[in-house]
Amino acid sequence: MDKLLIYDARQIPFDLDEVKFALNGIRAASNIRSGPNVIAAVEANYDANDEDAIIRLISTKKLIALEGTYGAILSSAMDLKAALSVQLRIIDEQYTFDISLEEIRSADELATAIESAIC
């Protein structure tokens, strides 16, 4: 799984400034960028434990796409959960699962929840 999507549980668009602020507060996030040369509303590199991902707030602002190695995707999801002040849910592109991050406390717990949802 090399791409997961996060959305606000209230099913409303994310606030661009809040997402930028959150990304700036995540230690593993770097090269935060937005503007006419960037496809997404904002995107950042994410590097943790020798794994990497790209975090993108999609231009509609309804989804945050996480692409990269599985470990980095899970870690970035947990960092976003901690940094954003909204309840988040995570899905894959095929809508195989739809998991609330509210009770998930670690990347390992998220991996277990995804495995349980798929089986």
* Domains of the chain with CATH codes: 3-118 (3.30.310)
- Give me the pLDDT at residue 39, please: 78
Short-list 52, 49, 50, 69, CA closest to 3: 69
State which H helix or E strand residue 75 sits in. helix 70-83
Short-list 85, 40, 35, 46, CA closest to 64: 40
Characterize the bridge pairing of strands 29-33 and 98-100.
Answer: unpaired
* Averaged pLDDT in 10-residue chunks for the chain of 119 residues: 93 96 97 84 94 95 97 98 97 94 96 93
At residue 30, the 3 state secondary structure works out as strand
